[in-house]
Structure 1
Amino acid sequence: MPRTAVPVTQITRAGVAAPTETTGDPTNNHTIPNNGKMLLLVRNSGSTVARTVTLRLPGLTDGQAITPRTVSVAQSTSRYIGPFPTGDYGSNLLVDVDNAELKLLAFAI
């Protein structure tokens, strides 16, 4: 199946309403449009263990896949992650989650 899309909320000077979180999909994972000035808010809604979000980097170096970046999110906490330069992460950020307890929000400025 295709990756689950996460909508991006454009931040404006007038302000925006808080968007609805996207529940992590550890089976299909996620894709997020990336303008290079996007940041990701990942919330671990679980109260027992840390969870991991993996940011995939496209392309190859010397014919080898680039090692993905992983970020641990402690139980019952949130992490702001970004920005994601398009030269490194591409125009679609590929995000993998290890559990549905992770909730995702994406913001662009």
Structure 2
Amino acid sequence: MARIPLAATRPARGGVTAVAEVDGNTVDGHVVTNTGRTVITVRNADASNPHSVTFVLPQTIDGQAVADRVVSIPASATRTFGGFVTEWYSQRLSIDVDSTQLKLQALEP
């Protein structure tokens, strides 16, 4: 199935309201436009268990797939990620999660 688009908040001098968190989709995953400056915030709403977010690297080097970046988010923690180089992650950043307890937001500065 198609990945679920993740809307990104674009800041402005006058201020803007951030887009609402999106529940992680464990079946289809998510995709967001990536300029290389895209910022992804992941909140683990599970108070007891860590969960993993995966940033897909659609690359091959010398015919070998590059391993995706998998990061464990501790229980009740929030992590912010950025610096998704478009040459590595593409202009459409694909994100997978292992739980709907992970809540996602995107910022496009």
The aligned residue for residue 71 of structure 1 is 71
**Residue aligned with 1:70, SS:** strand
The aligned residue for residue 10 of structure 1 is 10
RMSD: 0.9
Q: Following superposition, which runs of at least 4 residues in structure 1 exceed 6 angstroms of deviation? A: none
Opposite residue 75 of structure 1, the aligned amino acid is: A
Q: CA deviation at 1:71?
A: 1.2
**TM-score (structure 1 length as normaliser):** 0.96
Inter-partner Cα distance in structure 1 for 2:100 and 2:32: 17
Q: What 5-or-longer segments of structure 1 have no aligned partner?
A: none
Inter-partner Cα distance in structure 2 for 1:90 and 1:22: 22
Q: What 5-or-longer segments of structure 2 have no aligned partner?
A: none
Pairing 1:36–2:36 present: yes
Q: Number of residue pairs matched?
A: 109
**Residue aligned with 2:88, SS:** helix
Inter-partner Cα distance in structure 1 for 2:67 and 2:51: 19
**TM-score (structure 2 length as normaliser):** 0.96
**Residue aligned with 1:88, SS:** helix
The aligned residue for residue 83 of structure 1 is 83
Identity among equivalent pairs (%): 37
Opposite residue 16 of structure 1, the aligned amino acid is: V
Pairing 1:95–2:90 present: no
Inter-partner Cα distance in structure 2 for 1:67 and 1:97: 16
Farther off after superposition, 80-89 or 93-102: 80-89
